[in-house]
Structure 1
Amino acid sequence: MKQWLCGLVAISLLASVAAGCGGKQESGQDAKEIRIGANFEMTGGVAQYGQSAANGIKLAVKEANAAGGILGKQIALIVADNKSEPAESANAATKLITQDKVVALLGPASSSNVLAALSVASDYKVPLLTPTGTNPRITIENGKLKEFAFRSCFIDPFQGTVMANFAAKELMVKTAAIYYDSSSDYSKSLTQVFEESFAKNGGKVLAKEAFLQKDQDFKSALTKLKASNAEVIYIPAYYEEVSKIVKQARELGITSPLLGTDGWDSPKLTEIAGAAALNNTFFSNHYSSQGQDPRVQKFVADYKQEYGQEPDTFAVLGYDGALMLIDAIKRANSTEPVKIKEALAQTRDLQVLTGVLSLDQNHDPVKSAVVVEMKDGKQTFKAKVNP
């Protein structure tokens, strides 16, 4: 009897260890819910992005659950705050996978935090889909595909090229200056791509200056950039610093066009910089709410009803990312993380808010971009750019 009890205890211990490995839920396919993890910047320096993306995901999950869920089960979205820090992002991914037993991860929002979480997700063989991480190294590095990494947004080389082409062909300028965030993988990658693409268009970068996240005074570097007499200044960075840079640039008498990226997209941009300062600024983005697409209009109305505010691009991309993952789980007909990963890789011609999306061999979307112009504090559609 004692031996039998010991054997039973050993079996129980083995079962508990097995249940703690990877992202498989405790009762697997028999679970009453499908647990999806959301690892986002709910607080910290880029909290606006994380909160917006998470809100978009929550709305998609709410709609999916109201329509019956996935595979006859409801979706349980478990949100973890990475505090806008890479180390915390890795911790959040570990918790979601090992303690909450999620079958897949959505997020984070910023590229640096995605790269930190991805190392954890890859070790546990759980798919990670970032709605907004644009750094190319997220999905492929040194020519090697990261098989558990996916995204629902275009990558830096595409939007860096979009803005370089826009400067050369639409604004018809030959010279540019760059002011970038040297503490951000996102900003450094975009800087490199813009400079290379602008040169291919016959343009020349006359000056480059760098700042750090959370800097407050940018006037010294802006004075140097102004002295270069460049026709445009490219600022590939996030809204928190960009809004202050734009405001201080105009205070210094810089009237030339200021160019940016999707990191500019936040209601706080106008709130901090001021509407007048943002005139004659342009940035690449994933969609424009100015169009007549009924899907977009419905989303905007539903989002405003749910959260009492206009959605930004991060909310839209979060919604798209959730649609991608839900679609993959349906096609996989399974909650096994590896099967979900395989289904994600086969995403083709999926209708999402930002258009029709297919993933290429690098797990990156093939989709269009738009250029947004700021006029009197409002975003206006300027141009659409196809891949």
Structure 2
Amino acid sequence: MTQKRMFTLLALFVTMALLVTGCGGTQSAQSDNKGPVKIGFFAPVTGPAAADGESVLNAAKLAVETINNDGGINGRKVELVNYDDALDSKQAVSIAQKLTTKDGVVAVVSGSYSGTTRASAKIYQDAKIPMISAYALHPDITKTGNYMFRQSFVGPVQGKAGAKVAVDMLNAKKISILQVDIDFGKTLAAGFTEKAQQLGAEIISVDSFSTGEKEFTPVLTKIKQLNPDLIYIPGYAAECSQIVRQAKELGITAKILGTEGADSTVQFLGVAKDAANGVIITTNMNRDSDRKLVQDFIKDYNQKYGYKPDMVAASTYDAFMVLANVMKTKGTEPDTIRQGLTEVKDYEAVTGLIKGYNQLGEVKKSVQVQIVKDAEFHYFGEISDDDIITPPSE
């Protein structure tokens, strides 16, 4: 064998070896057009937010089932790769590392809160894996980078919408704020305060409480003495249910305005019961919508899990459906998914018409306003003013 022929054969062997090697690893899972399309998911299934975690995991499973029953992604099945973050930021970071280095996912949906979503966002951004935050509302999540998107309203948008409801729809002049002392409460309260003052209302008191707190009589007694027209409560369902019960026991007559945090059929309505009647919330879901898409989701979720879905479930479901729509039309590579999300326009979702995502990845859609009647949420109004629902772009 000549030296030239030996060199040619050696070069051919090396080339084949490199080709075989290049077919392995995470990229193979992302680009194989025969295998399943893997979507990562994390939620607080255990720990202090387990009720929301269960709700969103149910919604994620229902979404994947719906997508696959409808033919998957151009014939490929969607596979849910889900983890429990237990509302722990360290666990959320560990999960992000697994999803981006070992699991071969092409996109991720956060079914968790702002703290855990913020803590892990940079890992997804650095790995160039698009992530949609289903309902966490802190502004810093999307500011992490161009692979970050949000399915629900960023905090300032919902806060401003709440102020519009309080002042223009409920005629409140004097307002007390009772907020949960974490990102969720602080962000919503800041947006609410700014807009309420612009509209001419006076914030006469601001008080905070911790997650897990159960005794609100002292602070409510103080608020009662101030005699506000309205109490704004950016908090979660467990605490809000206790607040409205104790407010009724104290004979407080001020109107109560909550947020999506109280949008829970189990933790809020199921616990507050009659005390919740008349409470109004800003949220991401209109149960009384006449759109078939909405009513089918409510019916399917209720039949499958035995209770009606809440806002976090609807937002999570929509995040998966948006991803599926993009992947069907644009492809399943992370880069094409990211680009496809930036091009979404007028997409019909359970939580309303998604007008699009801006350069920060913030969604633009109307804010829903619900009122509790006979232990159920019902339509009260909708905030669609452009100056309120247009999210910040920087």
The normalised TM-score by structure 1 is 0.89
2:25 maps to which residue? 19
Provide the rounded CA distance (Å) in 2 between the counterparts of 1:118 and 1:18. Answer: 26
Provide the rounded CA distance (Å) in 1 between the counterparts of 2:306 and 2:150. Answer: 27
2:262 maps to which residue? 264
Residue 204 (str. 1) matches residue 207 (str. 2): no
| 1:100 aligned to which of 82, 99, 103 | 103
Relative to 1, partners in 2 of residues 1:298 and 1:97: Cα closer, same or farther, differing over 3 Å?
same
Provide the rounded CA distance (Å) in 1 between the counterparts of 2:197 and 2:140. Answer: 23
Residue 372 (str. 1) matches residue 378 (str. 2): no
Q: Which runs of 5+ in 1 are unaligned?
A: none
1:63 maps to which residue? 66
Provide the rounded CA distance (Å) in 1 between the counterparts of 2:359 and 2:305. Answer: 36
Provide the rounded CA distance (Å) in 2 between the counterparts of 1:245 and 1:17. Answer: 57
2:54 maps to which residue? 51
| 1:293 aligned to which of 291, 294, 297 | 291
How far did residue 27 of structure 1 move? 6.6
Residue 302 (str. 1) matches residue 275 (str. 2): no
> In 2, are the aligned partners of 1:69 and 1:75 still within 8 Å (CA)?
yes
1:218 maps to which residue? 216
Letter in 2 for 1:178: I
> In 2, are the aligned partners of 1:256 and 1:280 still within 8 Å (CA)?
no
Residue 344 (str. 1) matches residue 341 (str. 2): yes
Relative to 1, partners in 2 of residues 1:95 and 1:27: Cα closer, same or farther, differing over 3 Å?
closer
2:238 maps to which residue? 240
| 1:323 aligned to which of 321, 324, 334 | 321
How far did residue 228 of structure 1 move? 2.0
What is the CA RMSD across the aligned residues, in angstroms? 2.2
Identity percentage of aligned residues: 31
SS at 1:274's partner residue?
Answer: helix
The number of aligned residues is 369
> In 1, are the aligned partners of 2:30 and 2:37 still within 8 Å (CA)?
no
How far did residue 347 of structure 1 move? 1.3
How far did residue 16 of structure 1 move? 9.1
Provide the rounded CA distance (Å) in 2 between the counterparts of 1:94 and 1:312. Answer: 30
SS at 1:253's partner residue?
Answer: coil
Residue 36 (str. 1) matches residue 39 (str. 2): yes
> In 1, are the aligned partners of 2:151 and 2:362 still within 8 Å (CA)?
yes
Provide the rounded CA distance (Å) in 2 between the counterparts of 1:15 and 1:253. Answer: 72
SS at 2:32's partner residue?
Answer: helix
Provide the rounded CA distance (Å) in 2 between the counterparts of 1:341 and 1:27. Answer: 14
SS at 1:242's partner residue?
Answer: helix
How far did residue 72 of structure 1 move? 2.6
How far did residue 31 of structure 1 move? 4.8
Q: Which runs of 5+ in 2 are unaligned?
A: 1-9, 390-394
2:3 maps to which residue? none
